[in-house]
Amino acid sequence: MIQVTDFCKTYRGTVAVEMLSFDVQPGQVLGLLGPNGAGKTTTMRAIAGVIPPTRGRLLVAGHDVAIEPVAAKALLAYVPDDPKLFDALTVWEHLQFIASAYAVENFESRAHALLEQFELTPKRDALAQELSRGMRQKVAICCAYLHQPRAILFDEPLTGLDPHGIRTMKESVRQRAGAGAAVIVSSHLLSLVEDLCTHLLILDHGRRIFFGPVDQARLAFSNVSGNASLEEMFFRATAGKAA
């Protein structure tokens, strides 16, 4: 569903991501990990078509993001770490706008269900500028889900969410993956990744340190016990023990 092949991105001669390849199959949830500056957000923005690759191919459901951007984006949703809403639109108007942009017919029942799931129904007619940071995050997630994307990218999705919102968010990711979506979650909260993800991609200084199922990650780092926590694996991986 998501295929990245030999992806490279440079900024004014500085290499942000170098020769990165990986894929995410339907139903998989990939945890994208790495220290600050590892290339995580760059990779997600390139898949989403926000920035062009310097080299390489990025496919969404077989559509090349650079060559067929509209077809690729029609099947994709991207929630950045600080989603921008339209301050002058209400919560419901955001959903109306997304439905129009993605040509979602008879969106109302699906939109109402999303608002109910994320406890936004009482805020249906509130302006975005009146919402808390957590509520704005929930609106962005509802908008991302509305057109039922087959590939979903989350960059720090729990920012601003309260404990109940966190639980709802995690359950929604499991539901989407269970329905066949390919999901990428980038987060510094290793407990979130460990709880949700089936696969891991660890980056450091723009290079792939590890890619594969979570269980293989435990085996990849030989000096770590088989029941090691993700935190132990992460610190070992980013200390230079590539696999």
List, run by run, the mean pLDDT of 10-residue segments along the chain (243 residues). 98 94 98 95 97 97 97 97 94 98 96 98 97 96 98 94 95 97 95 93 95 86 64 78 43
pLDDT of residue 219: 79
pLDDT of residue 243: 41
- Write phi, then psi, for 133 (nearest 5 degrees): -60, -40
Is 11 in a helix, a strand, or coil? strand
pLDDT of residue 223: 60
Cα separations (Å) of 42 from 7, 117, 119, 183?
11, 30, 31, 16
pLDDT of residue 221: 65
DSSP letter assigned to residue 204: E
Q: Which residue's structure tokens are 């016990």?
A: 225
Q: Which domains does the chain have, with CATH numbers?
A: 2-82+150-237 (3.40.50.300)
pTM: 0.93
Instruction: Write the pLDDT tens digit of every residue in 49-100.
Output: 999 999 999 999 999 999 999 999 999 999 999 899 999 999 999 999 999 9
pLDDT of residue 226: 58
